[in-house]
Amino acid sequence: MNANSLMAVIEPLLSLHRLRYIVLDFSPFVLQLSSDDILALSKAWPAVEELVIDVATAQSGRAGFESILHFARRCPCLQVLHLPVMVIEPGAFEGLEYSAEPHPLRDLDIEEVVFPPGMDFSREKMDFIQRVFPNVAVASATHPIAF
């Protein structure tokens, strides 16, 4: 595990599988949070109802936006999800398998969703959110999308 990753810092918490309300506030620190880390969090905390992660992430250490699908698959009770800056790369939504059942998440707040220079995946992002989390009215609306 990379010493600069959020996972290295919170590793002891990953064995607490019955946690329901989790707030990880490391806002003064720059740590990596990858798509694989998102998968590991969804596996570690299947009973989570509220997950808030506040941390600065370096450009090279950001999770792909599509990785939030792991929470939809593994955390059926999740109602609130707040995550740091994430990225969308070309082809991010291709070949994904979606659940037939809509997820009950109602509050999704991603600090910022970053696209590659000159690209705009706003429509794809919103379509993905509505398909996976139809109870979320407008996601990331309070935060600008960086180009």
Q: For the chain of 147 residues, list the mean pLDDT of each consecutive stretch of 10.
A: 86 97 95 97 98 92 96 97 97 91 94 96 95 78 41
- Round the CA-based radius of gyration of the chain to a whole number and report it: 14
Q: Is residue 145 part of a domain?
A: no
Structure confidence at residue 94 (pLDDT): 94
Q: Is residue 82 part of a domain?
A: yes
Q: Is residue 142 part of a domain?
A: no
Percent of the chain whose pLDDT exceeds 70: 91
Q: What is the pLDDT of residues 90-123, one digit of tens each?
A: 999 999 998 888 899 999 999 999 999 999 999 9
Q: Is residue 99 part of a domain?
A: yes
Q: Is residue 43 part of a domain?
A: yes
Q: Residue 67: which domain range?
A: 6-132
Q: Is residue 34 part of a domain?
A: yes
Q: What is the pLDDT of residues 117-129, one digit of tens each?
A: 999 999 999 999 9
Q: Measure Cα distances from 23 to 27, 49, 95, 144 in Å.
A: 11, 11, 32, 23
* Number of domains within the chain: 1
Q: Is residue 112 part of a domain?
A: yes
Q: Is residue 39 part of a domain?
A: yes
This prediction's pTM: 0.90
